[in-house]
Amino acid sequence: MISLARHRLTSAETGPALRALSEWTPADAPGGGLHPGDVGWHLRFDDAAVFVWTHDGVPVAAGFLDGSVLRVTGAPGADLGAVAADAEELLEPGNDRTDGLPVPGWELDREQPWVVLSWAPRPVSSRAEPVGRDDAADRVLVQRAAFEGSTFTVERWRAMKASPAGELAVETLVRTPSGEPAAAATGWFAGVGRCGLLEPVGAHPDHRGHGHGRDAVLGVCAGLADRGASAVAVVTPATNEAAVALYRSAGFTVVRENHDWVRARRA
Protein backbone atom coordinates (compact mmCIF):
# COMPACT_ATOMS: atom_id res chain seq x y z
CA MET A 1 0.00 0.00 0.00
CA ILE A 2 1.41 3.39 -0.98
CA SER A 3 2.04 6.17 1.51
CA LEU A 4 -0.23 9.19 1.18
CA ALA A 5 -0.24 12.69 2.60
CA ARG A 6 -3.59 14.29 3.43
CA HIS A 7 -4.02 18.05 3.11
CA ARG A 8 -6.93 20.07 4.51
CA LEU A 9 -7.73 22.98 2.22
CA THR A 10 -9.74 26.07 3.07
CA SER A 11 -12.13 27.51 0.50
CA ALA A 12 -9.48 29.87 -0.87
CA GLU A 13 -7.01 26.99 -1.24
CA THR A 14 -9.23 24.62 -3.23
CA GLY A 15 -7.91 25.49 -6.69
CA PRO A 16 -5.63 22.40 -6.90
CA ALA A 17 -8.47 20.11 -5.82
CA LEU A 18 -10.82 21.60 -8.40
CA ARG A 19 -8.23 21.24 -11.16
CA ALA A 20 -7.55 17.63 -10.24
CA LEU A 21 -11.24 16.74 -10.08
CA SER A 22 -11.78 18.39 -13.46
CA GLU A 23 -8.96 16.33 -14.98
CA TRP A 24 -10.50 13.16 -13.56
CA THR A 25 -14.03 13.92 -14.82
CA PRO A 26 -15.00 11.67 -17.77
CA ALA A 27 -17.01 12.67 -20.80
CA ASP A 28 -20.34 10.99 -20.02
CA ALA A 29 -20.99 11.01 -16.27
CA PRO A 30 -18.93 11.71 -13.14
CA GLY A 31 -17.12 8.85 -11.49
CA GLY A 32 -16.58 8.49 -7.75
CA GLY A 33 -18.42 10.61 -5.23
CA LEU A 34 -17.34 14.09 -6.30
CA HIS A 35 -17.45 16.37 -9.31
CA PRO A 36 -15.85 19.84 -9.23
CA GLY A 37 -19.40 21.15 -8.94
CA ASP A 38 -20.00 19.29 -5.70
CA VAL A 39 -17.04 21.16 -4.27
CA GLY A 40 -18.29 24.42 -5.77
CA TRP A 41 -21.68 24.07 -4.10
CA HIS A 42 -19.98 23.07 -0.82
CA LEU A 43 -17.94 26.28 -0.86
CA ARG A 44 -21.00 28.38 -0.02
CA PHE A 45 -20.18 27.63 3.63
CA ASP A 46 -17.72 29.86 5.49
CA ASP A 47 -16.06 26.89 7.17
CA ALA A 48 -15.99 24.66 4.09
CA ALA A 49 -12.96 22.39 3.96
CA VAL A 50 -11.78 20.00 1.26
CA PHE A 51 -9.25 17.19 1.63
CA VAL A 52 -6.68 16.25 -0.98
CA TRP A 53 -4.58 13.12 -0.77
CA THR A 54 -1.23 13.21 -2.56
CA HIS A 55 1.52 10.72 -3.36
CA ASP A 56 4.95 12.23 -4.00
CA GLY A 57 3.23 15.61 -4.24
CA VAL A 58 0.74 14.51 -6.93
CA PRO A 59 -3.01 14.53 -6.12
CA VAL A 60 -4.52 11.05 -6.13
CA ALA A 61 -7.91 11.74 -4.48
CA ALA A 62 -10.08 14.57 -3.21
CA GLY A 63 -13.03 14.64 -0.87
CA PHE A 64 -15.00 16.41 1.82
CA LEU A 65 -17.41 15.65 4.62
CA ASP A 66 -20.95 16.35 3.43
CA GLY A 67 -22.58 16.25 6.83
CA SER A 68 -21.88 12.71 8.01
CA VAL A 69 -20.95 11.41 4.54
CA LEU A 70 -17.34 11.37 3.35
CA ARG A 71 -17.50 11.93 -0.41
CA VAL A 72 -14.39 11.05 -2.40
CA THR A 73 -13.23 10.79 -6.00
CA GLY A 74 -9.88 9.26 -6.88
CA ALA A 75 -7.66 9.66 -9.90
CA PRO A 76 -7.96 6.89 -12.50
CA GLY A 77 -6.13 3.89 -11.10
CA ALA A 78 -5.74 5.44 -7.64
CA ASP A 79 -5.16 3.15 -4.66
CA LEU A 80 -8.46 3.78 -2.88
CA GLY A 81 -7.47 1.26 -0.23
CA ALA A 82 -4.68 3.59 0.82
CA VAL A 83 -7.11 6.52 0.83
CA ALA A 84 -9.58 4.57 2.98
CA ALA A 85 -6.83 3.63 5.43
CA ASP A 86 -5.76 7.25 5.82
CA ALA A 87 -9.37 8.45 6.07
CA GLU A 88 -10.08 6.33 9.15
CA GLU A 89 -9.64 9.28 11.51
CA LEU A 90 -12.24 11.24 9.50
CA LEU A 91 -14.69 8.36 9.85
CA GLU A 92 -15.31 8.79 13.55
CA PRO A 93 -18.56 7.45 15.05
CA GLY A 94 -21.42 9.35 13.43
CA ASN A 95 -19.62 9.70 10.11
CA ASP A 96 -20.94 6.33 9.00
CA ARG A 97 -21.22 6.72 5.23
CA THR A 98 -18.90 7.17 2.30
CA ASP A 99 -19.71 8.02 -1.29
CA GLY A 100 -17.17 6.81 -3.83
CA LEU A 101 -14.80 5.30 -1.25
CA PRO A 102 -15.02 1.58 -0.41
CA VAL A 103 -14.03 0.97 3.20
CA PRO A 104 -12.92 -2.52 4.30
CA GLY A 105 -15.59 -4.11 6.47
CA TRP A 106 -18.30 -1.69 5.37
CA GLU A 107 -21.36 -2.62 3.30
CA LEU A 108 -23.05 -1.20 0.23
CA ASP A 109 -26.33 0.49 1.12
CA ARG A 110 -28.81 -1.31 -1.13
CA GLU A 111 -31.81 0.40 0.45
CA GLN A 112 -31.09 3.97 -0.68
CA PRO A 113 -29.79 3.94 -4.27
CA TRP A 114 -28.92 7.10 -6.18
CA VAL A 115 -29.69 7.46 -9.88
CA VAL A 116 -27.09 8.98 -12.19
CA LEU A 117 -28.61 10.56 -15.31
CA SER A 118 -26.82 12.15 -18.26
CA TRP A 119 -27.86 14.63 -20.96
CA ALA A 120 -26.23 14.85 -24.39
CA PRO A 121 -25.93 18.32 -25.98
CA ARG A 122 -28.69 19.20 -28.43
CA PRO A 123 -30.64 22.31 -29.46
CA VAL A 124 -33.04 23.39 -26.73
CA SER A 125 -35.73 25.97 -26.14
CA SER A 126 -35.90 27.52 -22.68
CA ARG A 127 -37.30 30.61 -20.97
CA ALA A 128 -34.48 30.58 -18.42
CA GLU A 129 -32.26 33.61 -17.97
CA PRO A 130 -28.73 33.75 -16.55
CA VAL A 131 -28.46 34.68 -12.87
CA GLY A 132 -26.62 37.95 -12.27
CA ARG A 133 -25.79 39.77 -9.05
CA ASP A 134 -29.11 41.61 -9.19
CA ASP A 135 -30.92 38.25 -9.27
CA ALA A 136 -29.16 36.78 -6.23
CA ALA A 137 -32.03 37.41 -3.81
CA ASP A 138 -34.53 35.73 -6.13
CA ARG A 139 -32.15 32.81 -6.72
CA VAL A 140 -31.92 32.37 -2.96
CA LEU A 141 -35.69 32.73 -2.53
CA VAL A 142 -36.31 29.82 -4.90
CA GLN A 143 -33.74 27.63 -3.16
CA ARG A 144 -35.17 28.24 0.29
CA ALA A 145 -38.72 27.64 -0.90
CA ALA A 146 -37.82 24.49 -2.83
CA PHE A 147 -35.86 22.80 -0.05
CA GLU A 148 -37.30 22.73 3.44
CA GLY A 149 -34.63 23.62 5.96
CA SER A 150 -32.36 25.29 3.40
CA THR A 151 -29.81 27.66 4.93
CA PHE A 152 -28.91 29.33 1.63
CA THR A 153 -28.53 33.12 1.83
CA VAL A 154 -27.36 35.89 -0.44
CA GLU A 155 -24.13 35.98 1.58
CA ARG A 156 -23.58 32.28 0.93
CA TRP A 157 -24.36 32.75 -2.76
CA ARG A 158 -21.70 35.48 -2.86
CA ALA A 159 -19.21 33.24 -1.04
CA MET A 160 -19.81 30.48 -3.58
CA LYS A 161 -19.37 32.85 -6.50
CA ALA A 162 -16.22 34.38 -4.99
CA SER A 163 -14.63 30.97 -4.38
CA PRO A 164 -12.13 29.34 -6.77
CA ALA A 165 -15.09 27.38 -8.18
CA GLY A 166 -17.17 30.46 -8.90
CA GLU A 167 -16.06 30.74 -12.51
CA LEU A 168 -17.23 27.16 -13.12
CA ALA A 169 -20.85 27.95 -12.20
CA VAL A 170 -23.63 28.37 -14.77
CA GLU A 171 -26.89 29.51 -13.15
CA THR A 172 -30.36 30.13 -14.52
CA LEU A 173 -33.59 31.54 -13.16
CA VAL A 174 -37.09 31.16 -14.58
CA ARG A 175 -39.81 33.65 -13.77
CA THR A 176 -43.57 33.48 -14.14
CA PRO A 177 -45.23 35.73 -16.74
CA SER A 178 -45.81 38.22 -13.90
CA GLY A 179 -42.12 38.20 -12.97
CA GLU A 180 -42.15 36.06 -9.84
CA PRO A 181 -39.13 33.74 -9.39
CA ALA A 182 -40.36 30.22 -10.10
CA ALA A 183 -37.40 27.89 -10.62
CA ALA A 184 -33.63 27.94 -10.58
CA ALA A 185 -30.73 25.66 -11.39
CA THR A 186 -26.98 25.74 -10.96
CA GLY A 187 -24.61 23.80 -13.18
CA TRP A 188 -20.87 23.31 -13.02
CA PHE A 189 -18.30 23.19 -15.81
CA ALA A 190 -15.41 20.71 -15.59
CA GLY A 191 -13.67 21.61 -18.83
CA VAL A 192 -14.06 21.18 -22.57
CA GLY A 193 -14.90 17.60 -23.48
CA ARG A 194 -15.83 16.71 -19.92
CA CYS A 195 -19.17 16.17 -18.22
CA GLY A 196 -20.81 19.05 -16.39
CA LEU A 197 -23.01 18.64 -13.34
CA LEU A 198 -26.38 19.98 -12.17
CA GLU A 199 -26.31 20.84 -8.45
CA PRO A 200 -28.78 22.04 -7.23
CA VAL A 201 -32.13 22.36 -9.03
CA GLY A 202 -35.31 23.62 -7.41
CA ALA A 203 -38.78 24.94 -8.19
CA HIS A 204 -40.87 27.17 -5.94
CA PRO A 205 -43.79 25.14 -4.52
CA ASP A 206 -46.24 27.86 -5.56
CA HIS A 207 -45.25 27.53 -9.21
CA ARG A 208 -44.73 23.82 -9.79
CA GLY A 209 -46.42 21.94 -12.59
CA HIS A 210 -45.85 24.58 -15.27
CA GLY A 211 -42.54 23.44 -16.75
CA HIS A 212 -40.45 26.07 -14.97
CA GLY A 213 -38.06 23.51 -13.48
CA ARG A 214 -37.54 21.89 -16.86
CA ASP A 215 -36.76 25.28 -18.40
CA ALA A 216 -34.22 26.03 -15.66
CA VAL A 217 -32.54 22.67 -16.24
CA LEU A 218 -32.41 23.09 -20.01
CA GLY A 219 -31.07 26.62 -19.65
CA VAL A 220 -28.14 25.37 -17.58
CA CYS A 221 -27.55 22.43 -19.91
CA ALA A 222 -27.41 24.76 -22.90
CA GLY A 223 -25.03 27.09 -21.06
CA LEU A 224 -22.68 24.25 -20.17
CA ALA A 225 -22.80 22.88 -23.71
CA ASP A 226 -21.96 26.33 -25.07
CA ARG A 227 -18.82 26.31 -22.90
CA GLY A 228 -17.81 22.94 -24.33
CA ALA A 229 -19.22 20.35 -21.92
CA SER A 230 -19.56 16.95 -23.56
CA ALA A 231 -22.58 16.06 -21.43
CA VAL A 232 -24.40 17.15 -18.28
CA ALA A 233 -25.09 14.77 -15.40
CA VAL A 234 -27.29 14.89 -12.35
CA VAL A 235 -27.49 12.57 -9.35
CA THR A 236 -30.71 12.19 -7.38
CA PRO A 237 -32.20 9.66 -4.94
CA ALA A 238 -33.94 6.86 -6.82
CA THR A 239 -36.92 7.36 -4.52
CA ASN A 240 -37.37 10.95 -5.74
CA GLU A 241 -39.67 9.99 -8.59
CA ALA A 242 -40.64 13.60 -9.34
CA ALA A 243 -37.01 14.59 -9.87
CA VAL A 244 -36.29 11.57 -12.06
CA ALA A 245 -39.37 12.38 -14.15
CA LEU A 246 -38.26 16.02 -14.50
CA TYR A 247 -34.82 15.06 -15.76
CA ARG A 248 -36.23 12.47 -18.16
CA SER A 249 -38.58 15.11 -19.55
CA ALA A 250 -35.54 17.30 -20.23
CA GLY A 251 -33.85 14.53 -22.21
CA PHE A 252 -31.71 12.90 -19.54
CA THR A 253 -31.18 9.14 -19.60
CA VAL A 254 -30.26 6.86 -16.71
CA VAL A 255 -26.60 5.84 -16.78
CA ARG A 256 -26.33 3.80 -13.58
CA GLU A 257 -27.20 3.55 -9.91
CA ASN A 258 -24.78 4.53 -7.16
CA HIS A 259 -24.76 3.19 -3.61
CA ASP A 260 -23.10 4.65 -0.54
CA TRP A 261 -20.90 2.52 1.68
CA VAL A 262 -22.15 2.27 5.26
CA ARG A 263 -20.51 1.12 8.45
CA ALA A 264 -21.48 -2.49 9.07
CA ARG A 265 -24.11 -2.95 11.73
CA ARG A 266 -23.00 -4.92 14.75
CA ALA A 267 -24.82 -8.20 15.25
Q: Is the pLDDT reported for residue 267 higher than 80?
A: no
Residue 93 has pLDDT above 80, yes or no: yes
Distance from the Cα of residue 258 to its chain's centroid? 14
Q: What angle do CA 233, 234, 238 make, to 5 degrees?
A: 135
- Region 169-192: what's the mean pLDDT? 99
Asked if residues 221 and 187 have their Cβ atoms less than 8 Å apart, the reply is yes
Q: What is each CA distance from 134 to 116, 158, 159, 179, 223, in whole angstroms?
A: 33, 12, 15, 14, 19
Cα–Cα dist 262/265, whole Å = 9
- Which of 235, 267, 259, 264 is closest to 108 using CA atoms? 259
pLDDT for residue 264: 87
CA–CA distance, 103 with 91 (Å, rounded to integer): 10
Length of the chain: 267
Q: What is the pLDDT of residues 103-148, one digit of tens each?
A: 999 999 999 999 999 999 999 999 999 999 999 999 999 999 999 9
pTM of the entire predicted model = 0.96
- pLDDT, tens digit (0-9, with 9 covering 90-100), for 29-72: 998 899 999 999 999 999 999 999 999 999 999 999 999 999 99
pLDDT at 250: 98
- pLDDT greater than 70 at residue 266: no
Q: Are strands 261-262 and 107-108 parallel, antiparallel or unpaired?
A: antiparallel
Beta-carbon count within 10 A of 117 CB: 23
What is the mean pLDDT of the segment spanning 158-186? 98
**DSSP per-residue codes, 35-63:** -HHHHHHHTTSTT-EEEEEEETTEEEEEE
- Is the confidence at residue 251, as pLDDT, over 80? yes
**Domains by residue range for the chain, with CATH:** 5-107 (3.40.630), 116-258 (3.40.630.30)
Number of helical H runs and strand E runs in the chain: 7, 14
Cα of 255 vs its chain's centroid, Å:
16
Report how far residue 33's alpha carbon sits from residue 51's, in angstroms, rounded to the nearest whole number: 13
pLDDT value for 31 = 86
Q: Which residues neighbour 218 within 8 Å (Cβ) at sequence distance 6 or greater?
A: 124, 125, 126, 128, 250, 251
